[in-house]
Structure formats: structure tokens, C-alpha cells
Structure 1
Amino acid sequence: MSKVRVKQLKSLIGRKKDHKLCISGLGLKRIGDEKILKDTPSIRGMINKVAYMLEVEEVKK
């Protein structure tokens, strides 16, 4: 299964509540945080919702 690296680039201050929840659901807490996550449809949905705050790249094994 492929994986994606997700990095938070922008602050959560002043964002919609559901966008804040998506960021926390991805395991990110602050600007500069990075997580490597499985590439599943639910993760992709959260990434697409808050893509303007993230940097996303494919991780190859």
C-alpha cells in the first residue's frame, strides 16, 4: 500500500471548525508538523478538504 507525507504549512487560526478537525484527524498539531499516512480514500478526502493548508507528496519504499 502506498503512503503519503503530509506537512502543515498554514495556521489554524480563524479557520472553519471542520477544517480544524480534518487537520487534527490527520495527526497534525502545528505549522511544520509532518506525518506519513497510508493512502486510503478517507485520508485523501481529508487532505482534499484542507489542501490549501498542506504540502502532500508520495512516499516510495
Structure 2
Amino acid sequence: MDIWMVLGLALLPAFGNFAGGLLAEFTSTPKNRLNNALHAASGIVIAVVAIEIMPEALQQISA
């Protein structure tokens, strides 16, 4: 794979993060939307832990 292709694909999330930061800095978010976003993020984290990490941890404990 060409190094420029790798660098280009690596910079895409960085630019997205930068654009999101600028958007968050210059716009105001209603408290209700922020509350819903934080609840959704915590639900995703709990789901990842329950589906990906817990079965491995339980298997390590029982072995």
C-alpha cells in the first residue's frame, strides 16, 4: 500500500475530530440533546463491556 494512501486514511479521523471540535465550539447544544448523547455513549460502552470483555473475563476466572 502506498504511504500517501495510508497517511490520507489516517488523517481522515483527525480532520473529522477537528471539525467536530470546531462545530462544538461555535454552536450551542441544548441540554436535552447533550443528555441524550451522553446516555447513548454510556449505553454503547456498557454494551461493549457486556458483549466483548465480560465473556473473556468470565472464561479466564473459571479456567
User: Fold-level match, TM-score > 0.5?
Assistant: no
TM-score between the two structures when normalised by the length of structure 1 = 0.22
Q: Which has the higher helix share?
A: 2
TM-score between the two structures when normalised by the length of structure 2 = 0.21
Q: Greater RCO between the two (CA within 8 Å, min separation 6)? A: 1
